[in-house]
Structure 1
Amino acid sequence: MFSKKRVGFTLVELLVVIAIIGILVGLLLPAVQAAREAARRMQCGNNLKQLGLAVHNYADSNREQFPIGTRHEDPANTPVAAAWSGGAHRKGSVLVKILPFVEQAPLYDQLDFVGDIHAQLDALGYNGTSGTRMGVYTCPSDGTTGNTLSGAHQFYNYGKNMGNQVMPGQFGCNIYPDAGGNPAVLGGNMYGSGTTGHGSTNTQANISGVFSRFSWAARFADITDGTANTILFGEIIPSCGDHHRNGWYSTNSLWTATTGPINFNTCGWQQVPNNASNCNDYRVWQTSQAFKSQHPGGAQFALCDGSVRFLPETIDYATYQQLGSRNDGQTVQVP
């Protein structure tokens, strides 16, 4: 009699194969994730490149001046210190003014700048975290991670640069450079060469960077340190900033300074009692209104010449401030 030989795998053999497949997946997954992040970062850089070119095109059409963040074409000419909630000042952020130059002319043409731009864009469906997204204003590395917390008005990831601006203390948090030029938590006012707190001025001499919080914006001639050495836009995570979360078209949201270190963590929405020393509170403007991203190790920036650079979060603090300022006379090589 002949016995039939059974064809198949033993349990041990199957377990060995499964283990090998698991090891291969474990080895390949980080590489796949790294490749995906590299692609997302490239797209984010392309977005910033478009923003830089859009500002150049805007300036070419507006006597070499960069776009302002409020009071654009406002016949009422209400003093800029008036309440931000009033329609007289809600004439749209810098990102609204450059819409025609990022292939969004049809949207721009629907807006009546005599009225309240914020309310008009709300009505057009751009309000809320579920509203229409502006792809060119959104970094794919962020997705929804940094934009879904309470109060986040819209998805976007790019803020304008006020530079090395004085940022008065709040809740006991202040940042100064230590003896080695690195940020350290100390008392007093924020370190900065722009002398008006939070950039809340239209006086050119009191702004370090190329935009103020209000309606002043630089001309190319004002950037005496050179356009290749001065930051124009940088990445932000809106819901990690008290004002950033107002949305891309709010006149009181985009203002961002280089004073706070890159990627300083204010993303936990941790509230602390008044006068408590906690620089990680989302309401601490010194650190929350700073540039930050979801990219590991740093953030991307558009410079005033239209180029894009990735700056590491370990960048020398003094060097970072010099890149933020347009006219401190300290030109530095971009890392």
Structure 2
Amino acid sequence: MKHKGVFVLALSLAGCIENELPIPVREPGNAEIRYADLGPDYGVQLHVNLHTGEVVANHPKDAWCTRFHFKDDTVWMDLNSSRFMHIAPIGQDMSNVFLTPGQADALSWGVNRPSGRDDSQIVQAGLTWAIDLGRDPDNPIASLGSIRMECLDADSDEAVLRVSELVSEQPDDTLSWDTIWVANDPDISQVHLSLLHGEANVVNIEPPTGTWDLYFTQYTALLGDEGEEPTTEYLVTGVLSHAEGIRVLQPLDGDWEHWKEVDWSPQDWSEDWDILGFDWKSYSLTEGTYSIDSDAIYCISTPEGREFLFRFLDFYDDTGATGRITYETLER
């Protein structure tokens, strides 16, 4: 497949809302230095609990392809952007026939925004998509192929999908469909699906909601010149915060000690997934090394009312290999 492009809330309440009890004030904790190791090839994805520093779950990048989030009566589908996956809508005239390689290349391919979901990711009955399964983690220049996916039905309880091959050199061949039922699981935020090796299977990837806060992973970012709409696709390594109820603030000024003491304004919070992101590090082409902006401070709020200061310290392990993200946290 050819594509263009390269790759928190310490609000001091004077009173309480009627019928609610105040949250007990926690004494500030000690700063903790921890790490999340993605490996030198950035080949794993990690669900991390901020309070304990525990890696609650980990899996290789090829363990899943798409995931589904059920909210009210809407179902959303995300791609596994750590593999540079792409998606394109398919019209009714192409939904039930094989495409030639040229027709597939000409589709309107795109990626998911790393900041969060938009309406293009809503799953509805009658919609069909072409999905590029991205790059092989064991051979990044090799493609994992492509499939087509059609939604037969979707509601608050489940999505019924069918998948088939997308491309054939013999476009008159008959499509062979595999139907999969993706049921809403109230214990987790996203249900994951694997589409590799000609099979469609629900896979156990995400730990229960409330047990993890941050996702350390590669992902596809959209870059662009300042003031312009970012359109250049680039594979980066960093941290996303799409766990339920996580909010992040990146202050524009003030140091660690300042933000340890001051109130965190509710107006400044963001629910964007990529505030922590990847640009806490920079790469020198002349020296061939990464440097870390340890002055960049982040404030993180969890749904349970916990508040953490957070900063990045390193991107190297003890042997000098990249992929180990060392970070510091302090719970207020």
Common fold: TM-score over 0.5: no
Bigger-Rg structure (1/2): 1
Richer in helix (by share): 1
The TM-score normalised by the length of structure 2 is 0.20
Richer in strand (by share): 2
The TM-score normalised by the length of structure 1 is 0.20
